[in-house]
A = this chain, B = another copy of it.
Amino acid sequence: MDLNIIKQLSQQSNSKILLCVLDGLGGLPALKGRTELEDASTPNLDNLARNSDLGLSVPVEHGITPGSGPGHLALFGYDPLLYQIGRGALEATGIEFELQDNDLAARGNFCTVDDDGNIIDRRAGRIPTETCSVLTKKIESAINIEGYKVFIKPVKEHRFVLVIRGDSLSDQISESDPQMTGVPPKVVLPLIDDAVNTAELVNSVIMQALAVINNEGQANSLTLRGWSFKPTMPHFADTWGIRAAAIAAYPMYRGLASIVGMDVLNTGLTIDDEIETLEKNWQDYDFFFLHYKKTDTYGEDGNFSAKKSAIEYYDKLVPKLTALKPDVLIFTGDHSSPAVMAGHSWHPVPLMLSSPYIRKNNHSGFSEKDCSKGNIGTIYAKNLMTLSFAHAGRLKKYGA
């Protein structure tokens, strides 16, 4: 749906929408033939499901496994094949680095190379974040490129962000990260003629950085990838005519919400902290995006029972969410992360939508199987926002 049409259709209301994203929620059957969600004891979600509409959400396209960026952009109503956020820009925004227009950002990894310069550990033994802070600070103050300002900022453990500020930069350069061990980091090459200067500049940055760290034990080299500028996309809160808040503990999701145009609220690290933040700010916003990370973390770890427990833990908190009496309450994920696959997958994601305007069905609870027979059917994630805003009475009739 064209977001300009949405802007014309949006209308004011006192209704509140609560979008609860259980990251990587969807699963696959394990030994007992039940998925993580099906095997988990979730009396609160099940009870809600019996009075809700259910469906399945396809994040990008059938068979396409999304990264977190496309997965969330789609939930926020953006066509993930039309709007893309580069990894560098995403990481920069995630640490609340204010990217300016034309700043070129990359995601960096400290790594360990052997005496021949070949990578033996792509994550430098996951050095402590404090070490990363010290090293990035040292590198940043050592780098000197005439006419350009170079920022090196720590993220977590071995991860950092590189941002180059100056004229005529291009994101059309190759990545230095070979994504494998046993080979050296690659020289950065221009992918188009106009990127020759940028590639040379980046290779100088790398040389100067290596001079600072090449005597370190573990973090004696680095790789760069995901060259990107600050993305531009229609502003979420403006498009839908709402005050929108994001509550997420993890930097990347905070970054995503910030890029699209939500207020990112200060919150603690746990889902309990996040819900407390939600309660405190309930009066001040019309739309909340509430992010829960653990379902994905354990899914990616291949830990079925931990993912199941994470769902059960969440279920116990559901009454706190319903107690706020949102007009539209949604539970879904940005993608599936089946423990049996130990990673993101393409499988459609369970979706529950509760509002006064649902049709209901004979659902037994909230599960992949129930969702596959739900009223909503199988929809593209990018269509969830129009559906939610319709249920919230926030969209006018289209056409005469």
The answer to the question of A298 belonging to the interface, with a C-beta cut-off of 8 Å to chain B, is no
The answer to the question of A341 belonging to the interface, with a C-beta cut-off of 8 Å to chain B, is yes
Q: Which residues of B contact A396 (CB under 8 A)?
A: 65
Is there an interface contact between B357 and A400, defined as CB atoms closer than 8 Å?
no
Do A361 and B357 contact each other (CB < 8 Å), given the known contacts A67-B399, A377-B377? Answer: no
Is there an interface contact between A28 and B81, defined as CB atoms closer than 8 Å?
no
A73's nearest neighbour on chain B, judged by CB, is B399
Is there an interface contact between B64 and A1, defined as CB atoms closer than 8 Å?
yes
A348 to chain B, nearest CB (A): 8
Do A397 and B85 contact each other (CB < 8 Å), given the known contacts A360-B33, A372-B361, A377-B377? Answer: no
Counting chain B CB atoms within 10 Å of each CB, the highest count among A60, A340, A362 belongs to: A60
A360 CA to B347 CA, complexed, in Å: 12
Is there an interface contact between A66 and B398, defined as CB atoms closer than 8 Å?
yes
The answer to the question of A390 belonging to the interface, with a C-beta cut-off of 8 Å to chain B, is yes
Give residues 1-47 of A contacting B (CB, 8 Å).
1-2, 5, 9, 28-29, 33, 35
The answer to the question of A120 belonging to the interface, with a C-beta cut-off of 8 Å to chain B, is no
The answer to the question of A379 belonging to the interface, with a C-beta cut-off of 8 Å to chain B, is yes
- Copies of the polypeptide in the assembly: 2
Is there an interface contact between A344 and B397, defined as CB atoms closer than 8 Å?
yes
The answer to the question of A235 belonging to the interface, with a C-beta cut-off of 8 Å to chain B, is no
Interface class of chain A by DSSP: loop
The answer to the question of A203 belonging to the interface, with a C-beta cut-off of 8 Å to chain B, is no
A61 partner, pick from B70, B368, B383, beta carbons under 8 A: B383
For the complex with contacts A33-B360, A62-B386, A345-B357, 8 further pairs of A-B residues with Cβ separation under 8 Å are A5-B81, A28-B358, A66-B398, A66-B399, A69-B399, A69-B400, A341-B357, A372-B377
Task: Pick 29 A–B contacts, CB within 8 A, sort by A.
Answer: A1-B61, A1-B81, A28-B357, A28-B359, A33-B360, A61-B383, A62-B376, A62-B383, A62-B387, A63-B383, A63-B389, A64-B386, A64-B395, A65-B396, A66-B397, A66-B398, A67-B397, A69-B400, A85-B399, A85-B400, A90-B400, A338-B357, A341-B357, A343-B397, A345-B357, A346-B390, A359-B368, A376-B378, A377-B377
4 nearest interchain CB pairs?
A63-B386, A377-B378, A63-B387, A63-B390
Q: Which residues of A contact B (CB under 8 A)?
A: 1-2, 5, 9, 28-29, 33, 35, 56, 60-71, 80-81, 84-87, 90, 107, 226, 338, 340-341, 343-348, 357-362, 368-369, 372-379, 383-391, 395-400
